Amino acid sequence: MRKTPVKILLVTVLAAMFALFLVACSSGSGSSAASSEAASSEAASSEAASSEAASSEAASSEAASSEAASSEAAAPQNAVLRISTTTSVNDSGLLPYLQPFFEEDTGYQMEVTSAGTGAAIEKGRTGDADALLVHAKASEEEFVNEGFGVERVPFMYNYFVIVGPEGDPAGVANCATAADAFKAIADAGQTFVSRGDDSGTNKKELQIWEAAGIDPNGQEWYVNAGQGMGATLTQTAERQGYTLSDKGTFLSNDAKESLKILLGESDDMKNTYTMIAISPDKWPDTNIDGANAFIAWMTGDKASELIAKYGEEEYGEPLFYLIEK
Amino acid sequence: MNGKFAIEIKGLKKTFGERTVLDIESLVLESGLSYALVGPNGSGKSTLIRLLSGVEAATTGHVDVLGDATREDLAVGYMPQKSYVFGFSVFKNVAMALSSSGLGKNEVNERVNRALDAVGMADMADARGSGLSGGEAQRVALARLLVQDLDVVMLDEPTASMDIAGTMLVEGALKSYRERTGCLMLIATHAPSQAHRISDKAVMLSDGHVVELGDTSEVLSTPTSEAGREFLSYWAV
Amino acid sequence: MEELIQAFSLLFTPGSELSQIVLLTLKMSAFSTAISTAIGVPLGVCVGLYRFRGKRLVMRILNTLMGLPPVLAGLIVFFILSRSGPLGTLKLLYTLPAMVTAQVVLITPIVCGLSATAISGVAPLVHETAHGMGLTRRRELACLLYECRSQLLSIMFVAFGRSIGEVGAVMLVGGNVQYKTRVMTTAIMLETNMGHFEYAVALGIVLLVISFIINSIALSLQERTSAPEAQGAWSASRGGKLGGGR
């Protein structure tokens, strides 16, 4: 008699968990449509608020310079633009740096979320973003081919760097290519910390291992950290090992105090950043106008100038280079 | 402990902040007698018992032991108003009171059974302490005292949660315990009728002061103080 | 659904990464719980039992620490165990002991505060009773612990639950290293970051099921220590007089 309630409880809880799981699974189709709907209505209300603010501002400054009013772009229909990007872009501070210029010029409000490349692209698939700014060619092509993205717009690049301890016990600094460097690390049995999170950097790293003809998985010296670039760099510094990083994140991370760039700018370490507008065919609610405005602005002269300058002041060199048009 | 002794209370005072709950200039309790501590609620009965038992410290004043004994010689037992019974068996609850007595196992068992019998709880020796009713808990608490050899027994409303039958049983147990041990017994009670049945002397408290002291029958029939008359008038009806 | 089936079948495949992660998670939580109980309960008993100067301050500090953000606990342990930290030479960062240490920092105040509250609830009654019976201090303490046994047991399982579900501190000091320090919660974080949302939810459900099983065991243990026999006492007391009852 005592056991029956326990059984009922068990069944109830399992059923509840099952229901929860079904809800989670269906988010790929039905429920996220609802959520994007909610997001768009939210956007509409905030747009109303902003246009109201703009009009009252215009009224008060009517007598003042008309120049200010004209430089303020007319508020677009759907003012909220959701950009999903990778941690490396966000951690480098590029988007926060560009954001006020973009918003002033176009009247859009940028909402940036950052995650590993895998998750960043997945947000495009689930309709939770209007534009992507990522760096993983194969995944991007797959994404566009599936019809989720309009087209890939590569617009800037930088180089991955191999960072390691000052002493460089594996002799990476003397290598010509990244593949050679990885081989040297493996031969010396030096600790290599991998992001292991399916990010663009992680994918690049795995390509280089493949090019070097080495399978690092399960090796004692190969540490699969399963974390973002920042945390991976911290772990590399603590372990005094090697890792592959994008330059921007490394230069802005405290790890640079006990690690140094040992190899950079070799051809097999080029890192190209691409923008993709989410196709309205898959997600009708997506802010395609905003996405197009973002891509146009980012590839325009003003943004090019800003990007080319970014990082020079702080690190003595630009963090990103523009692809020549 | 054999021989005569007395407990002398001098200038005993207990205050909580501004409020004085007990203020006794002088009071002597003699061994071999049973005292009823009477008075209305809030008159300081419980406080006096708590101070004498040492579970609470007095603000000022002291308690001395006179006669053939010193404070250390006296075995003192105290039963609080709210009886708490431990979660283990009733038997173990009572046996626990003999844990420092150094008695053998057989002796302990025999005493515990006798004490439980005296309070009418013999058939519940194996019951868990946590499932008892208020009256049952009070009887177990009483058994925990009566199982010991005590020189001073203090009880705070020992029959508060009991019916008439239980009350009579407990009063009988207390009487025979006193006859057997010759201990000093101090029983706080709010009922004059109970004081009549179980005590030789009565101490009446009012607002923390001793207002009456004497033979129980005298105190309860011809009180000398205004407070005493008022208290008893409610019971006369 | 596929992911859930996949997750559960992986769970019962010996040698699979998931089963290794689950075992590590249980090991970590068991150690964290055991150590924080061993430290927290005696401390909590002392705080709950004794009156001393600054007790209110201690209680306030304890209550604050009960809400200690896991990341902060992790950061503190990180700085201590880091290469440049005071215990850097032990090379404990990114190991199981580091994760357990961070969790002990996190959980001990909770165990301590909860046991102090549990103890102080019954301590005055037990003290008065024990004093009246003439029990020694040691025996009184034993009785007090016995009276609080089921509360102390549930506090242990609160600690276990906190430990098994915690992610911030273990991520920081454990580093989420595959086969070494990756536990259920950090694995869920990783799958989420990789965009494997459904598999992440499946892992979450596996974690919930494990928690549920452990809590069920705890509950039945608790029932066995208190409830059934109390009910026995009830039926004995009533049954004897009313002639059977139900």
A53 is a domain residue: no
Kindly state whether residues A178 and A86 are assigned to the same domain: no
Query: Is residue C202 domain-resident?
Result: no
pLDDT tens digits for range C7-57: 888 877 777 889 999 999 999 999 999 999 999 999 999 999 888 899 899
C-chain residues within 8 Å CB-CB of A238? 82-83, 93-94
Domain for residue A256, yes or no?
yes
In a domain, C201, yes or no: no
pLDDT tens for chain B, 237 residues: list them: 567 899 999 999 999 988 999 999 999 999 999 999 999 888 999 999 999 998 888 999 988 999 888 888 889 999 998 889 999 999 999 999 998 888 899 999 999 999 999 999 999 999 999 889 888 999 999 999 999 999 999 999 999 888 899 999 999 999 999 999 999 999 999 888 899 999 999 999 999 999 999 999 999 888 888 888 888 888 765
CB contact under 8 A, C83 and A258: yes
Residue A123 belongs to some domain of the structure: yes
- Given an 8 Å threshold on Cβ–Cβ distance, is A24 in contact with C194? no
Kindly state whether residues A152 and A166 are assigned to the same domain. no
C167-198 pLDDT, tens digit per residue, is: 999 999 999 999 999 999 999 999 888 888 88
Task: State whether A131 and A278 are in the same domain.
Answer: yes
B82 in contact with chain C, both atoms CB, cutoff 8 A: yes
A231: chain C residues, CB-CB within 8 Å? 171-172, 175
Tokens 């196992």 correspond to B105
User: Which residue shows structure tokens 């009256």?
Assistant: B135
My answer on whether A168 and A222 are in the same domain is yes
* A203 compared with A10, residue with greater pLDDT: A203
| Partners of residue C128 in chain B, C-beta under 8 Å | 55, 80, 82, 84
Backbone conformation region of residue B127, classed left if phi is above 0, alpha if psi is from -120 to 50, else beta: beta
pLDDT-derived band at A316 (thresholds 50, 70, 90) equals confident
> CATH number for the domain including A227?
3.40.190.10
CB A162 within 8 A of CB A264: yes
Each residue's pLDDT tens digit, B166-214? 999 999 999 999 999 999 999 999 888 899 999 999 999 999 999 999 9
| Judgement on whether residues A296 and A154 belong to the same structural domain of the protein | yes
Contacts of B38 (CB under 8 A, 6+ apart): B45, B188, B189, B190, B192, B195, B202, B203, B204, B205, B219, B220, B231
Over 70: is that where the pLDDT of A50 sits? no
Joined tokens for residue B176? 């025979």
Domain count for chain C: 1
Q: Looking at the structure, do residues A174 and A248 belong to the same domain, yes or no?
A: yes
Q: Is residue C217 part of a domain?
A: no
Task: For residue A38, give the amino acid letter.
Answer: A
pLDDT digits (tens, 9 = 90+) for C198-227: 889 989 999 999 999 988 888 888 777 654
Phi, psi of C64 (to 5 degrees): -65, -45
Q: Which domain-ending residue is among A224, A246, A269?
A: A269
Please report whether residue A19 resides in a domain: no
Whether residue B97 and residue C232 make contact (CB cut-off 8 A), yes or no, is no
Q: Considering the domain boundaries, does residue A131 fall inside one?
A: yes
- Per the structure, the complete domain to which residue A106 belongs is given by 80-158+271-322
Q: Is there a domain that residue C219 lies in? A: no
Do A246 and A277 belong to one domain? no
- Quote the minimal CA–CA distance from A20 to chain C in Å: 9
Tell me which residue range forms the domain holding C237: 26-182+228-245
Surface-to-core class of residue B41, CB atoms within 10 Å of its CB (0-12 exposed, 13-18 middle, 19+ buried): exposed
**Which residues numbered 92-121 in C keep a CB inside 8 Å of some CB on A?**
93-94
Tokens 């196709």 -> residue? A279
Residues of B within 8 A of C134 (CB-CB) are 75-77, 97, 100, 148
Residue in B77, B87, B124 closest to C134 by CB: B77
pLDDT above 70 for C74: yes
Beta strands in B18-127 (DSSP E): 19-30, 34-38, 60-67, 76-79
Quick check: is C116 in a domain?
yes
Of C131, C133, C234, which is closest to B96 when you measure between CB atoms? C133
Domain termination residue (choose one: A254, A269, A284): A269
Q: Is residue A58 part of a domain?
A: no
Asked whether the beta carbons of residue B131 and residue C232 sit closer than 8 angstroms, the reply is yes
Q: Which two tokens stand for residue C225?
A: 């220590």
Q: Which residue of A has its CA nearest to C202?
A: A21
Report the CATH number that the domain containing residue C167 is assigned in CATH. 1.10.3720.10
Note whether A84 and A228 are same-domain residues: no
Alpha-carbon gap: A4 to the closest alpha carbon of chain C (Å): 13
Kindly indicate the confidence band of residue A38, based on its pLDDT and cuts at 50, 70 and 90.
Answer: very low
Specify if A71 maps to a domain.
no
The alpha carbon of residue C132 is apart from the nearest alpha carbon of chain B, in Å, by: 4
Q: Is C242 near chain B, with CB under 8 Å?
A: no
Q: How many CB pairs under 8 A join B and C?
A: 86
Report the domain count for chain A: 2
Task: Tell me, yes or no, whether A65 lies in a domain.
Answer: no
Quick one: pLDDT at residue C246?
A: 28
Residue-level pLDDT at C4: 83
Residue-wise pLDDT for A98-114, tens only, equals 999 999 999 999 999 98
* Contact call for B53 and C134, based on CB within 8 A: no
Claim to verify: residue A275 and residue A182 sit in the same structural domain: no
pLDDT digits (tens, 9 = 90+) for A213-267: 999 998 999 999 999 888 999 999 999 999 999 888 898 888 889 999 999 887 7
CB neighbour list of residue A97: distance below 8 Å, 6 or more residues apart: A306, A310
**C124: pLDDT strictly greater than 80:** yes
Quick one: A132 and A179 in the same domain? no
Query: Cβ of C135 and B123 within 8 Å?
Result: no
Using a CB–CB cutoff of 8 Å, tell me whether C142 touches chain B: no
Residues A176 and A308 in one domain: no
Can chain B be said to touch chain A, i.e. do they have 3 or more Cβ pairs within 8 angstroms?
A: no
Q: Residue C181's closest chain A neighbor by CA?
A: A225
Q: Partners of B7 in the beta sheet?
A: B29, B65
Q: Are residues A264 and A275 in the same domain?
A: no
Q: How far apart are CA B132 and CA B166, in angstroms?
A: 15
What is the number of helices (H) and of strands (E) in chain C? Answer: 11, 0
Q: What is the pLDDT of residue A65?
A: 40
